[in-house]
Structure 1
Amino acid sequence: VTLIDTRNDYEVKLGTFSNARDPRTQSFTEFKDYVARLDPAQHPKVAMFCTGGIRCEKASAYMLQQGFKEVFHLKGGILKYLETVPEAESRFNGECFVFDERVSVVHGLAEGEAVLCRGCRNPMRPDEAVGSLCRECAEAAPAGASERERQMELARARGEAHLGDDAAAAAARN
């Protein structure tokens, strides 16, 4: 069985199933290009998964149209798996990116440790962060970015926001 993670590269980076293939897509529209490089004769059985199951339903139908004979997908996606499969029995490694304020979840759908890069908005593990940026954004940051990081740290130390409505309210109070 060929196991395919149908999610985008930034999602796969946080976590995936053991032995899953990463198509290295930046958007789901690139999945067709990945499938075009696969030979249905060499991959007679395909299993795939995604975050919640919707992307897999579309990908499964597409692969069947392209001549793949047996195509399966994880019903309910990784989220249902993490909700129902005990961690001790799990084959999922890492965290699952989610499109809400939690950023990522782990088994039992508990909030994970991942944070979003303030530059590219991609998820990253805390140990990958350079301030509030991922390494790639920190290396490409223009002059003044380190000062912005310093100001953000000072605001955090004061228990205040650096940007947004909360920061505007704090400035008005000051």
Structure 2
Amino acid sequence: MAPVLNVSAYLFTRIDEPHELRPVLRERAQLAGLLGTILLAEEGINLFLAGDASAVRGFLDTLRDDERFAALTAKESWSEVVPFGRLIVKVKREIIRMDRPEVRPQDGRAPAVSPATLRRWLDRGRDDEDREIVLVDTRNAFEVDYGTFAGAKDWRIERFTQFPEAALVHRDDLAGKTVVSFCTGGIRCEKAALYLRAEGLDAYQLEGGILGWFADQGGAHWEGDCFVFDERESVDASLAPRVAGSLPA
């Protein structure tokens, strides 16, 4: 097994004092020798970290001791080297920017579909109520170009703030169907599913995102790799870093 543990994790949870929490988490991560990014906002936390496995897991365990982060779960993958050059801890207005303040996942999540359930639906071509399934890729166009679910809707957005407008344009294509939004780790599709439900659609989020799907179902119904925001560039369905030169320019 490769020696470096990489984790991605997020949780929508109320944080009243993100500016006060920032130096605390920065010091803990530095002492643990971790590199990567931690984003904080009043709506929650989003992090991508890498380092020694015991140090990474210890940092997360300490974070979960705070009741606000007790439900935090992480997606794990491995690499030969740390895919980050430094540690960044920032406070943002949103941990994933959508510019829709009415969408508040910290107050309640949209329903989620497990990878096992979605796999069953995709295998049979319909959901458990015999309804048509529509997969909506909520990522940016360049990410989708690395790989996506077979037949997924790709609206060619350039940034997540464009998703609501694109959803309204394509709303009629989704009406009356079971809609499953997905993204890399779950954070964008969580907001997306809430927005779609507010527009009257029967929308769900894929629990754990693409990385969770890879861990649970491998490459089933998937075509290509998955872009990740670090020096690995992308990972395949086994969560291994891509082979250099294996993707088109």
- For this structure pair, what is the TM-score category when the shorter chain's length is used for normalisation? 0.5 to 0.7
Per the alignment, residue 184 of structure 2 pairs with: 51
Alignment of 1:104-119 (within 5 A): 104-113=234-243
Is this contact kept in 2: 1:40–1:67, CA < 8 A? Answer: no
Per the alignment, residue 121 of structure 1 pairs with: none
Is this contact kept in 1: 2:150–2:221, CA < 8 A? Answer: yes
Per the alignment, residue 134 of structure 1 pairs with: none
Per the alignment, residue 67 of structure 1 pairs with: 200
Report the more deviating stretch, 56-65 or 32-41.
32-41
The alignment of Structure 1 onto Structure 2 pairs a total of residues equal to 116
Computed over aligned residues only, the root mean square deviation of the Cα atoms, in angstroms, reads: 1.9
2: CA distance between counterparts of 1:86 and 1:36? 32
Aligned letter for 1:78? I
1:111-150 per-position Cα deviation (integer Å, ceiling 9, x unaligned): 01367xxxxxxxx92x42xxxxxxxxxxxxxxxxxxxxxx
Is this contact kept in 1: 2:134–2:174, CA < 8 A? Answer: no
Per the alignment, residue 137 of structure 1 pairs with: none
Per the alignment, residue 225 of structure 2 pairs with: 95
Instruction: Give unpaired runs (5+ residues) of structure 2.
Output: 1-132
Identity %: 41
TM-score (norm 1): 0.61
Instruction: Give unpaired runs (5+ residues) of structure 1.
Output: 116-123, 129-174
* CA spacing shift, 1:97–1:111, aligned 2, 3 Å: same
* Structure with more helix by fraction: 1
1: CA distance between counterparts of 2:242 and 2:155? 24
SS in 2 for 1:48: strand
Whether 1:9 aligns to 2:138 is no
TM-score (norm 2): 0.44
Report the more deviating stretch, 35-44 or 101-110.
35-44
Per the alignment, residue 139 of structure 1 pairs with: none
1:25-69 per-position Cα deviation (integer Å, ceiling 9, x unaligned): 00000001111112358522211110000101100111111111x
Is this contact kept in 2: 1:86–1:107, CA < 8 A? Answer: yes
Aligned letter for 1:58? K
Is this contact kept in 1: 2:234–2:242, CA < 8 A? Answer: yes
* Structure with more strand by fraction: 2
1:75-105 per-position Cα deviation (integer Å, ceiling 9, x unaligned): 0000011122134xx1111010001111100
Question: What is the CA distance between 1:4 and its match in structure 2?
Answer: 0.7
Whether 1:27 aligns to 2:156 is no
Higher relative contact order (CA 8 A, sep 6+): 2
2: CA distance between counterparts of 1:66 and 1:21? 18
